[in-house]
């Protein structure tokens, strides 16, 4: 086999109180084809996000992650590589675009190497590249994931919530580099804040597994990262308030931001929630768009060629 087509979901890390631990996958996808060519060197075609600046360099995550597996398995066999991407996941907005590139590259190379590594082994490699497991885990496994590091090695437990939930991702135009958002977090936090988050993260997992979603309002609260990042996202407390007032259980910073994600019942008026949040951003001079999403339960997978030929008008 010389060519493989990959679909990889957007992810939302932290889920409020689960900093660097919790994550979920949602049904917004990048699609990527990887083809080994006779012509040496890298070729790249991109539609959608990043089309104007992604380049076929070895340090581009799409190539670097592919080569990480390919070189390890083949002993560095030199190849030409053609990558085509249909990118729907916004970049530098807290929806896991870099994790999706890492996971797609690793998964594609692994598929072309007869599934040499298990998914759990790919999680380890992806975490080494990304630095933390909370986005790469749901991108690999789908669903809701609880990830942890043990002796430098990443592990993840995948769960499915008891009942459907809607995720309203409101994406500001302004990018927020993860490195900047991580710098905003202090090296130490008060013990009582750690206890606060332990209780909320535990409550969140319990609420999701039991279907007792009336706890989500409390369970999605956080004191470990959101208060320190609030100044980086215009109008954040008011965006949270608008989401709740319009009927969401609560809202959180998705990953490191800048996206704000509301969690809502399928019976809620999700359009109304989204528009209320967009309006608050607008009042703070920030244009935003939104996606009303469901949980993705599969994670990264191979797909047929036809889905890669969507016309540009179908792009988000």
Residues near ligand HSE (CB under 6 A): 13-14, 19-20, 132, 134-135, 178, 181-182, 225, 255-256
Considering the complex, state which of residue 60 and residue 226 has its C-beta at the smaller distance from ligand HSE.
226
Residue matched to tokens 């030409």? 80
Which DSSP string corresponds to 121-151?
A: HHHHHHHHHHSSSTTHHHHHH-SEEEEEEET
Distance (Å, whole) CA 252 – CA 275: 16
Shortest distance (Å) from residue 295 CB to ligand HSE: 18
- At residue 112's C-alpha, the angle toward residues 106 and 113, to 5°, is 85
Shortest distance (Å) from residue 128 CB to ligand HSE: 14
Considering the complex, state which of residue 22 and residue 54 has its C-beta at the smaller distance from ligand HSE.
22
Residue 292: Cβ within 10 Å count: 16
Shortest distance (Å) from residue 10 CB to ligand HSE: 12
Distance (Å, whole) CA 77 – CA 85: 24
Q: How many helices (H) and strands (E) does the chain have?
A: 10, 11
Shortest distance (Å) from residue 134 CB to ligand HSE: 5
Considering the complex, state which of residue 102 and residue 262 has its C-beta at the smaller distance from ligand HSE.
102
Shortest distance (Å) from residue 98 CB to ligand HSE: 8
Distance (Å, whole) CA 50 – CA 64: 17
Shortest distance (Å) from residue 277 CB to ligand HSE: 20
Shortest distance (Å) from residue 186 CB to ligand HSE: 13
Residues 88/121, Cβ–Cβ less than 8 Å: no
Residues 66/44, Cβ–Cβ less than 8 Å: no
Considering the complex, state which of residue 216 and residue 256 has its C-beta at the smaller distance from ligand HSE.
256
| Cβ partners under 8 Å of residue 47, min gap 6 | 85, 86, 87, 312, 315
Considering the complex, state which of residue 158 and residue 225 has its C-beta at the smaller distance from ligand HSE.
225
Considering the complex, state which of residue 13 and residue 239 has its C-beta at the smaller distance from ligand HSE.
13
Q: Are strands 260-264 and 166-172 parallel, antiparallel or unpaired?
A: antiparallel
User: Phi, psi at residue 14, to the nearest 5°?
Assistant: 80, -45
Shortest distance (Å) from residue 36 CB to ligand HSE: 30
Considering the complex, state which of residue 181 and residue 236 has its C-beta at the smaller distance from ligand HSE.
181
Considering the complex, state which of residue 7 and residue 11 has its C-beta at the smaller distance from ligand HSE.
11
């Amino acid at each position: 086999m010389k060519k493989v087509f990959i679909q990889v979901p957007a992810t939302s890390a932290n889920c409020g109180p689960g900093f660097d631990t919790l994550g979920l996958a949602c049904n917004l996808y990048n699609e990527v084809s990887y083809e080994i060519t006779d012509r040496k060197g890298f070729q790249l075609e991109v539609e959608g996000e990043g089309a104007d600046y992604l380049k076929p360099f070895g340090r581009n995550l799409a190539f670097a992650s592919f080569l990480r597996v390919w070189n390890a398995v083949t002993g560095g066999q030199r190849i030409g590589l053609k990558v085509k991407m249909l990118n729907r996941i916004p970049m530098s907005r807290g929806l896991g675009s870099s994790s999706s590139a890492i996971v797609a590259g690793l998964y594609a190379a692994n598929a072309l190497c007869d599934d040499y590594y298990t998914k759990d082994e790919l999680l380890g490699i992806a975490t080494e590249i990304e630095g933390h497991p909370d986005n790469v885990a749901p991108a690999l496994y789908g669903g809701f994931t609880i990830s942890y590091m043990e002796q430098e090695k990443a592990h993840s437990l995948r769960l499915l919530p008891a009942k459907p939930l809607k995720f309203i991702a409101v994406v500001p135009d302004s990018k927020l580099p993860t490195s900047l958002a991580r710098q905003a977090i202090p090296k130490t936090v008060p013990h009582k804040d750690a206890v606060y988050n332990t209780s909320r993260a535990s409550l969140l997992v319990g609420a999701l597994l039991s279907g007792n979603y009336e706890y989500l309002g409390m369970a999605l609260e956080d004191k470990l990262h959101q208060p320190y990042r609030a100044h980086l996202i215009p109008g954040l407390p008011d965006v949270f308030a608008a989401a709740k007032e319009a009927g969401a259980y609560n809202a959180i910073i998705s990953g490191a931001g800048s996206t704000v994600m509301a969690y809502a019942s399928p019976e809620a008026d999700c359009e109304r929630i989204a528009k209320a949040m967009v309006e608050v951003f607008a009042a703070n001079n920030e244009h935003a768009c939104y996606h009303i999403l469901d949980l993705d339960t599969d994670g990264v997978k191979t797909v047929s060629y036809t889905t890669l030929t969507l016309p540009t008008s179908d792009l988000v």
